[in-house]
A and B are shown apart, each in its own frame.
Chain A
Amino acid sequence: MNETEKLIYGGNPKSITEYFSLNKKIEQEKLRGNIKEKKNIKIALLSSFTINGVKEVLNVKCFQSDIVSDFYVAPYNQYLQQIIDKNSQLYKFEADIIIVFIDSKSLLGEYFYFPYRLTDTERKDYIGKLAAELITSIRYLKDNSKSKIVLHNFEVPLYSAMGILESKMAFGFLESVQLLNNKLKDEFRNDAGVFLFDYDTFCSKYGKKNICDPKMYYLADLKLDFSFIAPLCENYLSYIKPLLNMNKKCLVLDLDNVLWDGILGEDGLEGIKLGPTGEGKPFFEFQKLILGLYERGVILAINSHNNYNDVEEVFKNHPYMILKEKHFATLKINWEDKISNMRAIAQEINIGPDSLVFIDDDKLNRELIKDALPEVLVIDLPEDPSLFPETLSEINDFNVLQITQEDAKRGRMYAEQRKRQEFQKFATDITEFLRGLEIVVTIEKVNALNIARIAQLTQRTNQFNMTTRRYLEEDIKKIDKSGNFLIASVKVEDKFGDNGITGAVIVEKEDNKWRIDTFLLSCRVIGRRVEEALLAYIIEEVKKENGKILIGEFIPTKKNIPAKEFYKNNDFTLVKNENGTEIWSYDVSKDYKYPEFIKIVKKNIL
């Protein structure tokens, strides 16, 4: 790291001026071409008022998260013109993400001051009309760009001329702004391209009285005080990180003074403080928040210096231990160094260290990990345990843009995987082990329920992926419509649990020659011969429609070595090898059987 980089990364800017000065340094670094190994994003900002400062602060925040950002800021209050003109700078910029920040006063106009000049019905109509217009322009923006859109909802005002009678009004003023927000939420609830940012809650968090400095507003139409630009940008990062696949997947926890108050080895089961009252309460609630993350799909792991048996006793016998052994994908409870443990955790779960978040109360351990594994996000846990829950709630790195059923179950599935591996240790022979797993593979042609997951798998699967072609849901819909493709998902279950949809294939039908466009399996289910079941299924389909030849491709990447030998091992013949890209062929008149220990279920819902 050079001096400037140190300044940029180590910098924790306290004021807008400090952000501006870091921003300038970053821009200089960019010009010098000193930037490597970072992700890029193009951000467009549309607003109804002066948002000077947002670009600079967001640029710094992105850079500190290893993202190089490029901005387009629409001219003052020109958001609508920019949206409706297809030739505008906004569309030319081709943003990855467009943030639309319109404030209540600008949108509501005179209604903001005189809502009660209108009758109850007129108010309702007016709000309905505003919502419809806004929705139309956002839809138009979406249809004419490939960007994800983050739309601010509206701050519910604090004041009504009706005073205490506001709550007695039929369709009151404040209520009407809430209704507007609800309409927007309903409209975009199931839209994968538009996200409603709850700006009203953001304002409440910092206090609606503080968020705008009236003097700045009257002087320069600044509706957001400078000191809240940084937290706002932090919220924007919650969308940007998952858009770049930079979201974290696993929370790695220390135990002593993190999940309970005290040192287990010294204080013992009875001595540690954990429970619904007194000093143990923040820890008790901290554990509940962690369990909440687990239930929405975050994988949990432990990296702690302790005696395993002592901890096991806490899991079993402590009345207030919320987190149980079964919630953890791996438990590194030993006296090894924490760095090796951390590496082992990543390896066992089969994710990169850049997917890990580490929580430890000991500053030394934190620095150790930061230094050895800079990709791991290390949380600076405050000294005071009463701040633990809040600290956890402010981690925005677990956000995903879309949650599939598989995501929600992920934490549990990894914990089940550990049981499976323990079971493997007892089985002597691999086939015996696989038979003992009682694997059920469900193959399902593409339908409304699995399409999002199929697209997600093409985006995320790197290892057992023959071609690494990335598709969006829209792409898959399109190729499915053509009628020339076999598209299917694979679900894998066994006696330890349900892995969910963990594989997909896309095969193009060309007369009697079929071509495997995509063949992938999540690393979670590799090594169980599910891939063979999937291939058997494809061959069966080719035969059914009187195809003769099945073509497979292997396109090498840095990560897909596990897939390299697949066609070779399954009796395909190499036709061509061009710069590493291999074309393989299989004559389907040859017999190919499903692995006998796997139960196959074929589903076809349309």
Chain B
Amino acid sequence: MKSLKNILSKVLEIEEDKINDELTPADVETWDSFNGLILVSELESNFKIKFTMEEVTSVKCVKDIKEVLKRRGVTLNE
């Protein structure tokens, strides 16, 4: 299983060490609405979960993604 950082880095095409909890779409040029959906799709298939529509729209930064994943019982080692 890939890590969250790894997925973010692949989809958004940024270095893993540039990723932190506070990172928002406004900070990353490639984090547009379409890549946001790609991210959803990659996270879902990687962690074998399905997000609700509300979860998708509520995410404002990396930390929010972590929280949603945690609530869904995904253990993150990072």
Please report A residues at the B interface, Cβ cutoff 8 Å: 15-17, 20-21, 52, 213, 215-216, 218-220, 222, 225-227
Contact = CB atoms under 8 A, between A and B. Distances in A.
B42 A17 contact: yes
A220 B37 contact: yes
B34 A52 contact: yes
Nearest to B33: A220
Interface residues of B, number: 18
Interface string B16-46: 0000000000000000011001101110010
B34 A215 contact: no
Contacts of A216: 37, 40-41
A219 B42 contact: no
Contact of B56 (A17, A215, A222, A225): A215
Contacts of A219: 37, 53, 56-57
Contacts of B34: 52, 220
Given A216-B37, A218-B53, A220-B33, 15 more contacts: A15-B41, A16-B38, A16-B42, A17-B10, A17-B42, A215-B51, A216-B40, A216-B41, A219-B53, A219-B56, A220-B34, A220-B37, A222-B37, A226-B41, A227-B45
Interface in B28-74: 33-34, 37-38, 40-42, 45, 50-53, 56-57
B3 to A, nearest CB: 14
A219 B37 CA distance: 9
A219 B39 CA distance: 14
Nearest to A214: B53
Please report whether the interface of chain B is mostly helix, strand, loop or mixed according to DSSP. Answer: helix
Interface of B: 7, 10-11, 13, 33-34, 37-38, 40-42, 45, 50-53, 56-57
A17 B37 contact: no
Closest 6 CB pairs between A and B? A215-B53, A226-B41, A17-B10, A17-B11, A52-B34, A220-B37
A294 to B, nearest CB: 40
A175 B45 CA distance: 35
A210 to B, nearest CB: 12
Please report whether the interface of chain A is mostly helix, strand, loop or mixed according to DSSP. Answer: helix
A20 to B, nearest CB: 8
B41 A16 contact: yes
A21 B10 contact: yes
B38 A215 contact: no
Contacts of A220: 33-34, 37
A17 B53 contact: no
> Could you say which of A52, A215, A216, A225 has the most chain B C-beta atoms within 10 Å of its C-beta?
A215
Contacts of B41: 15-16, 213, 216, 225-227
Contacts of A225: 41
Contacts of A213: 41
Contacts of A227: 41, 45
Contacts of B53: 215, 218-219
Contact of A15 (B45, B50, B51): B45
A222 B56 CA distance: 15
Nearest to A18: B10
B67 to A, nearest CB: 19
Contacts of B56: 215, 219
Contacts of A222: 37
Nearest to B54: A215
B47 to A, nearest CB: 13
B11 to A, nearest CB: 5
> Could you say which of B41, B51, B52 has the most chain A C-beta atoms within 10 Å of its C-beta?
B41
> Could you say which of B42, B50, B52 has the most chain A C-beta atoms within 10 Å of its C-beta?
B42
A279 B46 CA distance: 37
A13 to B, nearest CB: 12
14 contacts: A15-B41, A15-B45, A16-B38, A16-B41, A17-B11, A17-B42, A21-B10, A21-B13, A213-B41, A215-B40, A215-B50, A215-B53, A216-B40, A220-B34
Contacts of A226: 38, 41
A301 to B, nearest CB: 41
B52 A215 contact: yes
A146 B72 CA distance: 53
A398 to B, nearest CB: 32
A598 to B, nearest CB: 66
A226 B36 CA distance: 13
B52 A15 contact: no
Given A215-B53, A219-B56, A219-B57, A15 B42 contact: yes
A213 B42 CA distance: 13
Contacts of B40: 215-216
Contacts of B45: 15, 227
Contacts of B57: 219
Contact of A17 (B33, B38, B50, B52): B38
B62 to A, nearest CB: 17
A222 B50 CA distance: 16
A226 B38 CA distance: 8
Nearest to A225: B41
A16 B11 CA distance: 9
A474 B11 CA distance: 48
> Could you say which of B10, B37, B53 has the most chain A C-beta atoms within 10 Å of its C-beta?
B37
B14 to A, nearest CB: 13
A73 to B, nearest CB: 13
Nearest to B7: A17
A458 to B, nearest CB: 45
Nearest to A14: B45
A214 to B, nearest CB: 8
A359 B53 CA distance: 46
Contacts of B42: 15-17
A29 to B, nearest CB: 17
A220 to B, nearest CB: 6
> Could you say which of A21, A219, A222, A225 has the most chain B C-beta atoms within 10 Å of its C-beta?
A219
